[in-house]
Amino acid sequence: MSRSAHPAGPRHADVLAEWSRPVPPVDVNALDPKVWAGGVTRGADGVVTVGGIDVRALAAEFGTPVYVLDENDFRTRCRAWRDAFGPGADVFYAGKAFLSRAVARWVNEEGLNLDVCTGGELVTALAGGMPPERIAYHGNNKSVAELERAVEAGVGRIVVDSFQEIVRVADVAARRGVRQRVLVRVTVGVEAHTHEFIATAHEDQKFGLALSTGEAEEAARRVLKLGSLELVGLHSHIGSQIFDMAGFEVAARRVVGLLRRLREEHGVELPEIDLGGGLGIAYTSDDDPPDPWSVAKALTEIVTHECEAAGLAVPRLSVEPGRAIVGPTAFTLYEVGTVKPLEGLRTYVSVDGGMSDNIRTALYDAEYSVTLASRASDEAPVLCRVVGKHCESGDIVVRDAYLPADLAAGDLLAVPATGAYCRSLASNYNYVPRPPVVAVRDGRARVIVRRETEEDLLRLDID
């Protein structure tokens, strides 16, 4: 949703001056294909359907709130990333965005690899049948127990994040008598243009080994000396929800620079370079993310060019998109409860979920879109704020949304682009059970993560 620009305009003014009001949409019932999964349409009767299934039927069968995931769309996006990068590169789906056994299976079937960053994600990936050699294990503080499990399972790559971790992984591998393949996570010093909490390559933060201080080079040197570790490459991840390829290009250039120095100093040419994830998606019609082909072209060209200039063989390239694969594939379906109009301001529309199923608005000031899904309406659009049921005034799902004036309790709202970092960041705040994930494919809907129940919540409680 676009805002009329005003240089001095407060973004969240309590009283919305005319110039700061978001611009109403031309058609409040329209579904912008940029923000919706491929299988979502609004039928002639005005009801939104996904894969041919009416959202009212989904709400009746599975309840609300519910994350509805278009499996065909997920698989199509996996294939797009795989095809764009081609057989000479590896695409690791970043499981932190959203992982379940079914998702691990789809990722495997579509020929992608998988990135995990905790023991829980590893267990889920393995339970979903992902071959361990196609798993990369990340994280700035992997426990020894987690490392033991990863090495024992035979994960293909461990991305080491600190000097201490190099020793830990080497010890674990030595005790098991294996030679573990590792990459060194390099903090390249790029200021990614994204929210501070999701930028990861500037140096003042917890992830990785800094390039500028020589730490990354020293880490590579130490790994090369350890017999239980095999240094296969360097890794960089600059942040998340990024639209501009410039940061990736700087990162690639700097990582290749380190490859060159390692060859000069140690005579080794590392065979792999992983440029991480972080590609943005459209949450609203204002967002214009790059497609997988332009990402692949830009990254391949820069790595090839830099390697040729340095006289290095071009290493195998990896990327780790999470949000760009799963984000657009799902929407959250809510039922409207209380509607509170505030004259001259906006209407507060309360839904039956909130910050427990989507923390991103509260945490990152994220913007979302929303539509009335259970029917179309000819009423004029009214400026609304979609809020949750939690005991928190920051419990906002969609900060600024135009919805039809006749919106009422019992209507269903759908918030698109909630496939990434919504279920995976969900909480039980206020003892609200987390919603299920329902996958729709070829006209059939099935639960892939069931709804939590009050019994689930009480199961952890001890008198």
Establish whether 422 is a catalytic residue.
Answer: no
Which residues, other chains included, contact 145 with Cβ-Cβ below 8 Å and sequence gap of 6+? 119
Q: Encoding tokens for residue 274?
A: 């992983």
The total number of residues written for the chain in this structure: 463
d(CA 59, CA 77): 26
Q: Strand 48-50 to strand 40-42: parallel, antiparallel, or no bridges (unpaired)?
A: antiparallel
Q: Which residues ranging from 376 to 435 are in contact with ligand LYS (CB under 6 A)?
A: 421, 425
Which residues, other chains included, contact 137 with Cβ-Cβ below 8 Å and sequence gap of 6+? 115, 116, 117, 122, 150, 155, 157, 158, 159
Burial class, 433, CB count within 10 angstroms (exposed 0-12 / middle 13-18 / buried 19+): middle
Nearest CB to ligand LYS, comparing residues 206 and 450: 206
Name the β-bridge partners of 69: 330, 439
Nearest CB to ligand LYS, comparing residues 96 and 157: 96
Closest distance to ligand PLP from the beta carbon of 126 (Å): 19
323 is in an annotated binding site: yes
392 is in an annotated binding site: yes
Under the binding rule (CB under 6 A), the answer on residue 241 touching ligand LYS is: yes
Burial class, 208, CB count within 10 angstroms (exposed 0-12 / middle 13-18 / buried 19+): buried
276 binds, among ligand LYS, ligand PLP, none (CB under 5 to 8 A by kind): ligand PLP
Instruction: Pick one of 77, 181, 360, 389: the residue that binds ligand LYS (CB under 6 A).
Output: 360
Q: Strand 272-274 to strand 316-319: parallel, antiparallel, or no bridges (unpaired)?
A: parallel
Of the candidates 78, 117, 384, 391, the residue annotated as catalytic is 391
306 binds, among ligand LYS, ligand PLP, none (CB under 5 to 8 A by kind): none
Q: How far is CA 310 from the centre of its chain?
A: 34
Nearest CB to ligand PLP, comparing residues 130 and 432: 130
320 is in an annotated binding site: yes
321 binds, among ligand LYS, ligand PLP, none (CB under 5 to 8 A by kind): ligand PLP
Residue where the block lists tokens 């095809």: 83
Instruction: Pick one of 113, 180, 240, 318: the residue that binds ligand LYS (CB under 6 A).
Output: 240
Site string for ligand LYS, 291-320 (x = CB under 6 A): ------------------------------
Closest distance to ligand PLP from the beta carbon of 10 (Å): 29
Nearest CB to ligand LYS, comparing residues 37 and 426: 426
Q: Which residues ranging from 425 to 454 are in contact with ligand LYS (CB under 6 A)?
A: 425
DSSP, res 162: S
Q: Which residues ranging from 113 to 172 are in contact with ligand LYS (CB under 6 A)?
A: none
Under the binding rule (CB under 6 A), the answer on residue 278 touching ligand PLP is: yes
DSSP, res 457: H
Q: Encoding tokens for residue 68?
A: 């509805």
Q: Which stretch binds ligand PLP (CB under 6 A): 75-83, 145-153, 285-293, 322-330?
A: 322-330
421 is in an annotated binding site: yes
Site string for ligand PLP, 87-106 (x = CB under 6 A): -------x-xx---------
Q: Which stretch binds ligand PLP (CB under 6 A): 69-77, 106-114, 319-327, 424-432?
A: 319-327
Instruction: Pick one of 128, 276, 315, 353: the residue that binds ligand PLP (CB under 6 A).
Output: 276
Q: Encoding tokens for residue 426?
A: 């969900």
322 is in an annotated binding site: yes
Closest distance to ligand PLP from the beta carbon of 35 (Å): 17
Closest distance to ligand PLP from the beta carbon of 347 (Å): 33
Burial class, 306, CB count within 10 angstroms (exposed 0-12 / middle 13-18 / buried 19+): buried
Q: Which residues ranging from 74 to 103 are in contact with ligand LYS (CB under 6 A)?
A: 96
Give the start-end residues of each E strand in 343-436.
Answer: 346-351, 371-372, 381-387, 396-404, 412-416
Amino acid at 363: L
Q: Encoding tokens for residue 134?
A: 């196609």
d(CA 417, CA 289): 13
360 binds, among ligand PLP, ligand LYS, none (CB under 5 to 8 A by kind): ligand LYS
Q: Encoding tokens for residue 401?
A: 């949304």
Instruction: Pick one of 34, 77, 138, 385: the residue that binds ligand PLP (CB under 6 A).
Output: 138
Q: Which stretch binds ligand PLP (CB under 6 A): 27-35, 144-152, 270-278, 452-460?
A: 270-278
Closest distance to ligand LYS from the beta carbon of 198 (Å): 4
Q: Strand 396-404 to strand 66-70: parallel, antiparallel, or no bridges (unpaired)?
A: unpaired
401-424 CB burial, b ≥16 within 10 A, e <16 = bbbbeebeeebbbbbbbbbbbbbb
**Angle, CA 278 vertex, CA 277 and CA 282 arms, to 5°:** 130
Q: Is 279 helix (H, G, I), strand (E, B) or coil?
A: strand
Closest distance to ligand PLP from the beta carbon of 275 (Å): 9
Q: Strand 371-372 to strand 412-416: parallel, antiparallel, or no bridges (unpaired)?
A: antiparallel
Residues with catalytic function: 391
Binding residues: 278, 320-323, 360, 364, 392, 421
The residues binding ligand PLP (CB under 6 A) are 94, 96-97, 115, 138, 200, 237, 240, 276-279, 320-324, 420
The residues binding ligand LYS (CB under 6 A) are 96, 198, 240-241, 360, 364, 421, 425
